[in-house]
Amino acid sequence: MRLDYGVTRAPARLLFGPGQRRAIGRAAADLGKRVLICTDKRFAQLPVMSEILDDLKAHELDAIVFDATEAELPLAGILE
């Protein structure tokens, strides 16, 4: 019997397609009042991130950006 497997939990709701980043605030407001965005430094500095943060603020959400994630995140990054 193998015990070395991982479990992936799929989200209950997916947003995709043109313009959906402007729907993030409304979708997040259905879940709570605080938002944690985990991304990398490059994406955190793009204009699209400012658009996302503006949309979250327009929906009265408090957002924090953690911009130290890495691709294929190692365990140390998850713990951080």
The string of pLDDT tens digits covering residues 11-46 is 777 888 888 888 999 999 999 999 999 999 999 999
The residues near 27 (Cβ < 8 Å, ≥ 6 apart) are 13, 15
pLDDT at 59 exceeding the cut of 60: yes
Residues composing the chain: 80
44-54 as b/e, with b when 16 or more CB fall inside 10 Å? beeeebeebbe
**Largest CA-CA distance found in the chain, in angstroms, rounded:** 51
Token representation of residue 3 = 């015990």
